[in-house]
Structure 1
């Protein structure tokens, strides 16, 4: 995840008025595809002439056959590369610097990643499940951007119209009320803009006979919610899959007693909780309960959800004019979870306290 410092636009402010520089467009985080062009925005207004330069990881980007700065300040990388022989890459943190006669303004840092899809690091494993039970197959792959996961049975796409089959966005396949016809060879398929990959194959074998309704089996949570940290507006998937005879009823609550709510809340399959467009109020400990119908017999599992928010400015420094020898005070306030770290820049260089510069705890800068 991008650090708090990386999310912050790092402004420098000039004493003056109409001549000051201001960004119309700043570079955004982006995922680039190898051998394809990449463009990063940097559009500025202010009194000309204005020069725009670019840096990657703090080092100036050389212009030439590979990269050029367009008339509007946009950086064009003609063919995004990762050179295997030297392990060098065009990926990194980019920022642009705009300068005119009166001063310099530095943009936010934009994280540029190379799209990739490596091999699966977790493959599904073969298993045997009693008829009428629950099968859970899992796979994991770390793609940039995150890969879309689907499943195949005997090299044919799994029929998700059958509500016994649930595919979680995390790559987990759940099959409830397993039947003999569910036996077969399963594999995971991962796809993103970089590639498509297939996992190893796993054999699912359905054994035994369906349990008699008279044979009681206590509720058991086969897989409960895991601790999860996400960013606001992302989607949280909290897994809960249970077995028993009769089939247990899965329900959700919060450990602090607060209501989970209904907006943006969806149940996937027989008990998985999906929270769409998460906000800070969704942070908390979630409890999955598997109850035997008609009784107080239950099993529980807990998972903590942490929702973080990138820094955003609440108050910006305002341009001021002061006579020589007098004091100038600038104020800057920001919020985020976790609490953001603020730095000050003057003409693109980090400002450090000195004889005529003071930084206070409420993020006021005076000179």
Structure 2
């Protein structure tokens, strides 16, 4: 029976066989002629940078029928009709969706649809992720933190999708007990010297495969600290060049500024010079009105420090009066020396040829002050003696310096006459030479007498008189 059935099938008339082949061929041709859509650029998922123009091309891919009624719908399933940032453009063979400046908010699934042969609705979709590329904000390549304070290495990494950020220091992972990562950098709890070095911040986005890194050099600054050895007071001498010195520790080395009691920056004031690197304040010519409080300020990027100095002006003594004096022997004698200075000078009087200042039974010394702010030293004796005659030096001295002035005390006394030889002898025709000496202040006038008569009246070839200060020589030539 089976054999008969099989044989009967194979004996089927040829017209039926041809009909079956035609039906089969029509069925296959109908499947191949059905249209499809394609979106260019090709790909079901796309990742594109935000802010940059981007277009999608949708068009029919196959089939003999026409493609009509193209539409684009966005992530909200609403038809896109166009707008300021997104346009729909129709061409002969494509339906274009154009993004002018897309943002991450424009990310999502976009669908293109069209009618094929006016009967079949075809669709195709693509998912687009618009991302912001990795950007660096507030991320200087050279930074500093301050020793002993809380610090931060600043660097804010932005991107959409949000980048994954990691930090290393000098090629090693950082100690989480001392360092804490934040959105805008790395927080350091208490800065130490070891915190300086090279920091590397890396940013990567898994979705886009983007990767960037940045090296940041970090230095540790030390706030200025003015030396404790700097004096709180100083003295400058009037009329001289004065100097004040300020020194401080700190990194970077601080710059120095000086201010006076009127808070003037002395770098800009005539008569003063400031070296900002060495901290030296120079007063070109010190005046009494320069006395007051001065302030040194040391500044670097970490902080500043200041110190005040009380400046006193000392004045070299000046002797205003030390007069010569003339008295007669036995009379009262007074020498007076006047001087002023700041501080009040110490005044002394000494006689020439001595280094000590006399204070004995002959002199009484009194030091006083007058209304002219002068120091007055009075040295007096009740009875002038010959040995008091001569040069005297008044000395005025204080911490600013010492000055001296010379004066002369003349003690007048009557002549004291003496002969160099008495009696004077001669013989033969030899002349006799008689010499008379006289000590006196003022100088004495000498005269010769012979037999109680002035010798000048008897000057002849036998007598010759030669006078000099304090001496007179009489030459007598004998006659026979």
**Fold match, TM over 0.5?**
no
Tell me the TM-score range normalised by the shorter chain: 0.3 to 0.5
Q: Which has the higher contact order (CA 8 A, sep 6+)?
A: 1
TM-score of the pair, normalised by structure 1: 0.37
Structure with the larger helix share: 2
Higher Cα Rg: structure 1 or 2? 2
Structure with the larger strand share: 2
TM-score of the pair, normalised by structure 2: 0.30
